[in-house]
Amino acid sequence: MKVTLTSIPVQDQEKALRFYTEKLGFLKKKDEPLGGGNRWLTLFAKDWQDGPELLLEPGPNHFEPLKVFQNALKEAGIPWTQFDVDNVDAEYERLTALGVEFTVKPTEEGKVKYAIINDTCGNYIQLVQEL
């Protein structure tokens, strides 16, 4: 058994696509219309093309409990998910230059360094580097 797909709820798929590709560097894998203006829109990490796909899920627009949960996590400052990076400080510099908002600047804690970004689509995402 292995993970081949994971999803992140986004309030605007097109805005999320731009953020995740132009800012974070993911590449688009699938983009299939689902009806009602929704798409099966998946991305992959350019460094891990055979890795899991990231589905930009339009769920918050159609399922109120998901929207409530997403908003509650964000209000509490809790990231929806985590992306591993080789160097949090370098990502902080690169992403800040691209205008990405950090809610937590690079911080060391135990055997990791982490930072938290706002994906502009309803989520905080934690970037983590193992030390």
Got the DSSP string for 11-53?
Answer: S-HHHHHHIIIIIT-EEEEEEEEEETTEEEEEEEETT-TTS-E
Task: Tell me what the mean pLDDT of segment 49-62 comes to.
Answer: 93
Per the DSSP assignment, residues forming a β-bridge with 38 are: 35
Task: Tell me what the mean pLDDT of segment 96-108 comes to.
Answer: 98
Would you place residue 51 in the very low, low, confident or very high pLDDT band (cuts 50, 70, 90)?
very high
Q: What is the pLDDT of residue 23?
A: 98
Among candidates 112, 117, 111, which has minimal Cα distance to 129?
112
Q: What is the pLDDT of residue 61?
A: 86
17 pLDDT more than 90: yes
Provide the number of structural domains found in the chain.
Answer: 1
In terms of Cβ atoms closer than 10 Å to its own Cβ (0-12, 13-18, 19+), residue 2 is exposed
Q: What is the pLDDT of residue 125?
A: 98
Work out the mean pLDDT of the chain and round it to a whole number: 96
Q: Is the Cβ–Cβ distance between 44 and 30 less than 8 Å?
A: no
Alpha-carbon distance of 129 to 87, in angstroms, equals 6
Domain limits at 120?
A: 5-130
Question: What pTM was computed for the model?
Answer: 0.94
**CATH number (domain holding residue 51):** 3.10.180.10
What are the φ/ψ torsions at residue 59 (nearest 5 degrees)?
Answer: -50, -40
Task: Tell me what the mean pLDDT of segment 72-84 comes to.
Answer: 97
